[in-house]
Structure 1
């Protein structure tokens, strides 16, 4: 059985929000379910942590020795009956007993167990979700117990499963015996502390000698999930430069004889390599409409000390190039639009499967240039260099972090009005970034629809133009774009023939307007936009008043 937890719905849209006139009803309310596969009644309880002085002294020694040096350290354990793994959330600290890991993504430890045995211990994927205390206090999750805590090795002492038994007064030591025990416990902890300091110091020297950390010193900010290996790929060949950008160079190449695209980052752009690698390498990120990561390496190719991401080669090229070369029939247009919406909806969703967790992710740079077209005519979202993992619940942007980190990023033409005028809601920045993605999706969808002859019966299909190109030209200035999209609230022109119709063109007009609405809270979610598009039939639209 898979225990599930239902989360509270997202707040309802504002009063006066446009009601859906066609397709599905617009709603932001949905239930999210997290699932973890747990063992049956016959599973073995194979691991419980040591008790008494062992746990206390071991935890104290590691905590004092590692805190502030390597980042948060947590006990790591996964029961054999749990399918999948969260091992990628931490880096193993060798020589520890029981096994400990250094967290890469957060400062939070967790434990998960039932009434018979421990299921999982390790690093949690977020600093949120109630991870405030230094003690791992259990909270019920269906028929499971979970605890979150914010201190080194704070998840070690969860060996007491279920309700803790009450100790009797007769078994409590007193007098000289109690004093002697306390002295021995203190001396033992001091001895372990000295041993762990020596171990940590030697481990740091070894890491620095191998060059695994940046010059600024080790820490979670300089670590990548499951460090990509640094050895070369003999079967990887660089053939032709396809594109040169600010942070990377894109090559056409081959891997074991198969055509691929190689994204090469110079050493100075290591943080951009780390960001894209950190998103694409997460569990459960495999999806038909998201670009697939084949290999990741360091220290290979033309950039040498930089990073490499190897991905499939899509011969059709970017969506921008494809639309410039092809006018798509109705069936092809629907396929492009549906696959783009499906990929974005998956990216925005949280997912628990077989004990693995995929967080919600905002792309932040969605454009027709960053969408690729497969040979079957479907879209694949690419270029995750600006993508960011979102919190599991609405929360404010930390005051000690500059808002510039989430504002003024991405391709200017596709920036939402709230980003252009810097009014993005920092109190609920996770939801706000997804709403900005939906605005960019609407502009790309408009570019797709404008190249469909079936939507222009009796007329020639317009030549391909980028969103706002007719109004502002090929290189709009920030001032002109802000005046048009924010102050005047204008959008790319919708053909007059679509307006006021009851057929498909009228539904498409409404879909565009509901996705690029000036009010971010009034926009559709990516999932709802995908559901609307699913209502479009395979037959070409006939239109009519």
Structure 2
């Protein structure tokens, strides 16, 4: 039970006790205390009268002693809970007109005993002492002896404890405690019920990879796959353009030395619910032995003809609509990876990409984007990582810090990744990289410069530390100095759409990992940008740039064969 929950119970107890003490209306009574509290009308208390205080008000006397709050004039008391007023007085046996008030104050009595409005004694006196009670403000200030011996046969009635009702106080305490316990039980049940309902339910990881499952059959006939030409070559793999029957495909071929990355990417693409508009389509994976006797580890995917986002941004600029479309499609794809999905016995865990950058994002002909290259990606559930179909506690296993250097989050550069909640930590690392990708896309948007010259394309931090930063340079820049890529000064803060875009980017690359947005939140914010932009145009008379895209290379044709996730693949520490 957390501290906030404990405070709720304590405050509830205090509120109930105070309610029990002040419930109902209050009235004023005349107050006087000549005799000690327990010394009138009772012979058993006479022995203690000499030691009792005769003062009418003492700051140390408890509230319950007087049944109310004595006011500053020391002659008036405010009674609570509709308590009645009373007066106890004595008359001289010889001179009946000589009267001495013994006590006045609050009285807990019955409605049929106390007279409304006036204090009249209808009871036989005892030892020349008279008693009356009444209801109404200051009704006991004036009192009268109305006892008629001929009309009454009742016995004298003198109160022994006019100001106290112990049974009533005990009942009040019991009711208060029962109420507090009841409220506490309701809160406890509601709290744990909420936790149970919101706790994510994950199936056993055995369903992801049964230990005795037979070898997976190839998804296509290798004889139907033809390799045409190489598109790009990196450290871990090379990408070819190929044909699968009559369809153009991209074939990623891993070297046998990097079988681990091949197995990982193949396994993740085969998970349920991995067919998504924001991901490249997976046709299958298989091994083939070349004529030279070496193994080719092949992953066959859909061909994305416009190539990587990095290459596209170098050679093209964007209008606002295209910029938002690209950014939104990337965020939507990452949101899908970061979401666990379970339907019946089919389960897709959370996937952290771990190497999100513009080289691993491809551009479709409609200028939306797809996320590719899951070689470094990993499945995770809470504090556990899923490796080879089995869950392992993250703190008890090795997790290599990977990624493209200039896109690495500060906690990666500082070696301070929180593995106790590795699911949240790995998603936050992806979000940091997403912020840099969004900045990179936005800096190529012509409309944001309002007619000013568009600067040349520049990846994150190139202006600050060049094209080939070292690990130490990135650590000093990102972790120590907490620097981030600069926003162009021409971007107007007064434009609500531009302000929302900047705030989204800044909240993605926040130095505090836990303060970063989720991928779903980024997706929702980016979906609102078109309406914000249209609102600005309508109310400010802005005219968006007519040229949707301006080719910077002055060439008449653009290569459409780029399909890989990187021309220069990422490494674990350097770019």
**TM-score bracket for the superposition, by shorter chain length:** 0.5 to 0.7
1:518 Cα deviation from its structure 2 partner: 0.3
Distance 1:392 1:477, change over 3 A: closer
* Residue 485 (structure 1) aligned to one of 475, 478, 484: 478
Distance 1:271 1:512, change over 3 A: same
1:311 alignment counterpart: 301
Distance between the aligned counterparts of 1:256 and 1:228, measured in 2?
A: 19
Distance 1:356 1:230, change over 3 A: closer
Distance between the aligned counterparts of 1:492 and 1:249, measured in 2?
A: 31
1:301 Cα deviation from its structure 2 partner: 5.7
1:89 Cα deviation from its structure 2 partner: 2.3
Please show how residues 6-85 of structure 1 align to structure 2 within 5 Å: none
Say which SS state the counterpart of residue 467 (structure 2) adopts: coil
Distance 1:517 1:231, change over 3 A: closer
Say which SS state the counterpart of residue 271 (structure 1) adopts: helix
Q: Which runs of 5+ in 2 are unaligned?
A: 1-196, 386-391, 543-575
1:416 Cα deviation from its structure 2 partner: 0.2
Distance between the aligned counterparts of 2:433 and 2:297, measured in 1?
A: 29
Distance between the aligned counterparts of 1:226 and 1:494, measured in 2?
A: 52
Confirm or deny: 8 A CA contact 1:365 1:386 kept in the other structure: yes
Confirm or deny: 8 A CA contact 1:498 1:505 kept in the other structure: yes
Answer yes or no: is 1:270 the counterpart of 2:390. Answer: no
Answer yes or no: is 1:377 the counterpart of 2:367. Answer: yes
1:351 alignment counterpart: 341
Distance between the aligned counterparts of 1:463 and 1:341, measured in 2?
A: 25
Confirm or deny: 8 A CA contact 1:253 1:260 kept in the other structure: yes
Distance between the aligned counterparts of 2:422 and 2:381, measured in 1?
A: 9
Distance between the aligned counterparts of 1:258 and 1:428, measured in 2?
A: 43
Distance between the aligned counterparts of 1:481 and 1:315, measured in 2?
A: 33
Confirm or deny: 8 A CA contact 1:265 1:306 kept in the other structure: yes
1:412 alignment counterpart: 405
1:273 Cα deviation from its structure 2 partner: 0.6
* Residue 210 (structure 2) aligned to one of 90, 104, 114: 90
* Residue 535 (structure 1) aligned to one of 521, 528, 531: 528
* Residue 397 (structure 2) aligned to one of 391, 401, 406: 401
Say which SS state the counterpart of residue 364 (structure 1) adopts: coil
Name the stretch that deviates more: 388-397 or 331-340: 388-397
Q: Which runs of 5+ in 1 are unaligned?
A: 1-29, 37-71, 75-85, 92-100, 103-224
1:496 alignment counterpart: 489
Deviations 1:303-324 (A, max 9, x none): 8523110111111000001111
Answer yes or no: is 1:241 the counterpart of 2:237. Answer: no
Deviations 1:432-459 (A, max 9, x none): 0100000000101101000111111121
Distance 1:398 1:524, change over 3 A: closer
Say which SS state the counterpart of residue 347 (structure 2) adopts: strand
The alignment of Structure 1 onto Structure 2 pairs a total of residues equal to 335
Confirm or deny: 8 A CA contact 2:382 2:424 kept in the other structure: no
Distance between the aligned counterparts of 2:317 and 2:396, measured in 1?
A: 49
1:512 Cα deviation from its structure 2 partner: 0.8
Distance between the aligned counterparts of 1:535 and 1:398, measured in 2?
A: 37
* Residue 512 (structure 1) aligned to one of 505, 512, 517: 505
2:101 alignment counterpart: none
**Normalising by structure 1, what TM-score?**
0.57
Distance between the aligned counterparts of 1:256 and 1:354, measured in 2?
A: 34
1:501 Cα deviation from its structure 2 partner: 2.3
**Normalising by structure 2, what TM-score?**
0.54
1:258 Cα deviation from its structure 2 partner: 1.4
Distance between the aligned counterparts of 1:476 and 1:342, measured in 2?
A: 30
2:464 alignment counterpart: 471
Distance 1:354 1:469, change over 3 A: same
Distance 1:410 1:228, change over 3 A: farther
1:398 Cα deviation from its structure 2 partner: 4.2
Name the stretch that deviates more: 454-463 or 271-280: 454-463
1:330 Cα deviation from its structure 2 partner: 1.2
Say which SS state the counterpart of residue 261 (structure 1) adopts: strand
1:355 Cα deviation from its structure 2 partner: 2.7
1:31 Cα deviation from its structure 2 partner: 5.5
Confirm or deny: 8 A CA contact 1:35 1:353 kept in the other structure: no
Name the stretch that deviates more: 502-511 or 390-399: 390-399
1:452 alignment counterpart: 445
Distance 1:361 1:226, change over 3 A: farther
Confirm or deny: 8 A CA contact 1:232 1:297 kept in the other structure: no
1:354 Cα deviation from its structure 2 partner: 3.8
* Residue 428 (structure 2) aligned to one of 431, 435, 450: 435
Distance between the aligned counterparts of 1:304 and 1:359, measured in 2?
A: 34
Answer yes or no: is 1:339 the counterpart of 2:335. Answer: no
Deviations 1:485-538 (A, max 9, x none): 111111011122336324211111111110000000000001101111111116
Distance between the aligned counterparts of 1:233 and 1:337, measured in 2?
A: 36
Say which SS state the counterpart of residue 294 (structure 1) adopts: strand
Distance between the aligned counterparts of 2:223 and 2:381, measured in 1?
A: 40
1:394 Cα deviation from its structure 2 partner: 7.3
2:419 alignment counterpart: 426
Confirm or deny: 8 A CA contact 1:232 1:299 kept in the other structure: no
Answer yes or no: is 1:290 the counterpart of 2:275. Answer: no
2:517 alignment counterpart: 524
Larger Rg: 2
Confirm or deny: 8 A CA contact 1:347 1:360 kept in the other structure: yes
Confirm or deny: 8 A CA contact 2:281 2:301 kept in the other structure: yes
Say which SS state the counterpart of residue 514 (structure 2) adopts: helix
